Amino acid sequence: MPDFLYRPATLLRSARVAKDYIRLLVLAKSYANAGYLLTFEEGQIRPDSPLYGWTMQDFLSRKGFGKEFAKEAFVPLFSGLCTCSFDALMEFPAAVVLEYVARNMPFGKMSFVSSSIQAVCTALSKPIHTIFLSTSVRSIHSLNTPTSKTPPSTPSSPHSPLQLAIETDTGEVRKYHHVIFATQANQAARILKQSRFAKGDKGLLKQVGVLERFPYRKSLVVCHTDEDVMPRERDRWRCLNFATVGGNGWVGGDGVGSEESGRGRSEAAEGYDPLNVSQCTHFFNLTLPQLGSGKAYLQTTNPITLPDPEKTLSASWFERATVTWDSMMAVDGLEGVQGLGGRWFVGSYAWPGIPLLEGCVASGARVIGRIGELEGFKVGVPWAEGGEKDNVRGGFWGVVLAWVLAWLWWFLRVLVELRVLRADSDFKTEDRVRKDL
């Protein structure tokens, strides 16, 4: 007899979570169908949208989502997806998160590079004839600013004059028609602020002002082979595995979104508060078959407790853009200052929605298209034709179908695997975490 028949409380709990999950899907699809989510146009969201001005905290509370779904399913999942604290997630505009839900859930699939980052870099840089590596930039300034007598290394364009000079830390100066900042917004702002200011170059100050509106949070990523961060039973390992610490033990504590879980507290000095973030572990063997099924290769982001040092392959800090209502509207501001003085900006932050790699690609394609218009050439991007918003718009029956399929999917899941993942019973790190905390 299935074990869940002996645990009616668990069955009811899972049913409540499933019900709220279905409600989330139906609401997201309905809002998308009505045009109430992101418009991918100036203004980002229609003023008459019922979600206008709402954060995720507003959405979850005003729509009556249960604590079990919010704290034990939704918040851990999207905290890991957005690589941000629970508190930062609650400040995301509701339309941004629901746009992702409408596009990708419940049956969306993730894509991974099966080769290596080196292969990606080689493919992307193949058309580029000159690449400078290990070069630190001291200043990027208008050619109206006096520079050294170093001759330009970039040929002149028949369509536009040389506008910018890049000065390296060795004093070498190279001149260009356009400079694209494929960096974080805060890094681009820092470079521009330390660059020499040319008289009359008011565009630079405007660009810095817009770039500083995009917030970032620091995170730690560790590559390792320590299986203690995974569920005890290997058959329950997934591609992405989440764990959180709440105010009352592990997942589901009463402290999420309250003082106990870190609301009102500053981020830890090292970059994040392990009590206020979702640990996400990527099981590489599932996405890289060449690794085999023997030793497990894992990548843990924002670890609650550090993996065994003897099993650690690498560790590094990085920053991830988060979204607020101001930064969402700053995307409009960025469009207004793109190209001023020959300076352009691309990245996950520069595209509407949750900052993802797809945003880097889409914003890059848009900038290249605009440069092409200035320089007299056309760039064709087949997958971008037809508009972004058309991808998630569907009719009434699409919403109904999503509701029915999602209910069936969750019903089968309850029958097959009812137990809700809780780190205090399913993770090997219980004793270590309790000791560390």
In a domain, 129, yes or no: no
Is residue 91 located within the same domain as residue 235?
Answer: yes
Which residue range is the domain that position 356 belongs to? 136-215+323-377
The pLDDT value given to residue 63: 93
In a domain, 123, yes or no: no
In a domain, 58, yes or no: yes
Task: Count CB atoms within 10 A of the CB of residue 429.
Answer: 23
Q: Percentage of the chain with pLDDT > 90?
A: 41
> d(Cα 346, Cα 181) in Å, to the nearest integer?
6
Q: To the nearest 10°, the Cα dihedral for 156, 159, 163, 165?
A: -30
In a domain, 15, yes or no: yes
In a domain, 284, yes or no: yes
pLDDT digits (tens, 9 = 90+) for 31-46: 999 999 999 988 899 9
Is residue 71 located within the same domain as residue 95?
Answer: yes
Find where tokens 């200011």 sit. 197
Is residue 259 located within the same domain as residue 245?
Answer: yes
In a domain, 54, yes or no: yes
The pLDDT value given to residue 251: 37
In a domain, 125, yes or no: no
Q: Which two tokens stand for residue 401?
A: 């179908």
- Best CA proximity match to 244, nearest among 274, 264, 281: 274
What residues contact residue 9 under an 8 Å CB cut-off, 6+ apart? none
pLDDT digits (tens, 9 = 90+) for 276-335: 889 999 998 888 777 777 899 999 999 998 999 999 999 999 999 999 999 999 999 999
The pLDDT value given to residue 206: 93
H-type alpha helices, 212-346: 284-287, 325-337
The pLDDT value given to residue 422: 43
Average pLDDT over residues 116-128: 84
Is residue 307 located within the same domain as residue 423?
Answer: yes
> d(Cα 86, Cα 79) in Å, to the nearest integer?
6
Q: Which residues of 50-87 are buried (b: 16+ CB within 10 A; e: fewer)?
A: ebbebbbbebbeeeebbebbbbbbbbbbbbbbbbbbbb
Please give the sequence-ordered ranges of beta strands (E in DSSP) within 228-383, or none if there are none. 240-243, 279-283, 298-301, 312-321, 343-345
The pLDDT value given to residue 271: 66
3-state secondary structure of 295: coil
pLDDT digits (tens, 9 = 90+) for 325-363: 999 999 999 999 999 989 999 999 999 999 998 899 999
| Type and span of the H or E element at 14 | helix 8-34
Count up the domains in the chain and report the number.
2
Average pLDDT over residues 130-138: 88
Given a cut of 70, whether residue 155 has pLDDT beyond it is no
What does residue 209 show for φ and ψ, rounded to 5 degrees?
Answer: -60, -40
The pLDDT value given to residue 121: 85
pLDDT digits (tens, 9 = 90+) for 381-430: 766 555 454 555 545 555 566 666 666 665 555 544 444 444 444 555 55
In a domain, 266, yes or no: yes
Is residue 55 located within the same domain as residue 74?
Answer: yes
Task: Count CB atoms within 10 A of the CB of residue 255.
Answer: 18
Given a cut of 90, whether residue 56 has pLDDT beyond it is yes
What is the average pLDDT score of the chain? 79
Question: With left for phi above 0 and alpha for psi between -120 and 50, is residue 113 left, alpha or beta?
Answer: beta
> d(Cα 21, Cα 70) in Å, to the nearest integer?
9
**pTM (two decimals):** 0.78
Find where tokens 């917030």 sit. 215
The answer to which of 51-65, 214-228, 367-381 has the lowest mean pLDDT is 367-381
Q: Percentage of the chain with pLDDT > 70?
A: 73
> d(Cα 327, Cα 270) in Å, to the nearest integer?
24
pLDDT digits (tens, 9 = 90+) for 77-113: 999 999 999 999 999 999 999 999 998 887 776 676 7
The pLDDT value given to residue 144: 63
Given a cut of 60, whether residue 249 has pLDDT beyond it is no
Top mean pLDDT of 152-161, 253-262, 360-369 is at 360-369
Is residue 263 located within the same domain as residue 333?
Answer: no
Is residue 161 located within the same domain as residue 253?
Answer: no
What residues contact residue 296 under an 8 Å CB cut-off, 6+ apart? 225, 227, 230, 283, 284, 285
Given a cut of 80, whether residue 189 has pLDDT beyond it is yes
3-state secondary structure of 165: strand
What residues contact residue 322 under an 8 Å CB cut-off, 6+ apart? 82, 84, 88, 91, 92, 215, 216, 217, 355
pLDDT digits (tens, 9 = 90+) for 9-33: 567 777 788 888 888 999 999 999 9
Long-range own/partner contacts, residues 402-407 (CB < 8 A, 24 or more apart): 402/25, 402/26, 402/29, 402/106, 403/22, 403/25, 403/26, 403/29, 405/106, 405/107, 406/21, 406/22, 406/25, 406/106, 407/18, 407/22
Given a cut of 80, whether residue 156 has pLDDT beyond it is no
Find where tokens 């996950």 sit. 348
* Polymer length of the chain: 437
For the chain, give the longest Cα–Cα distance.
84
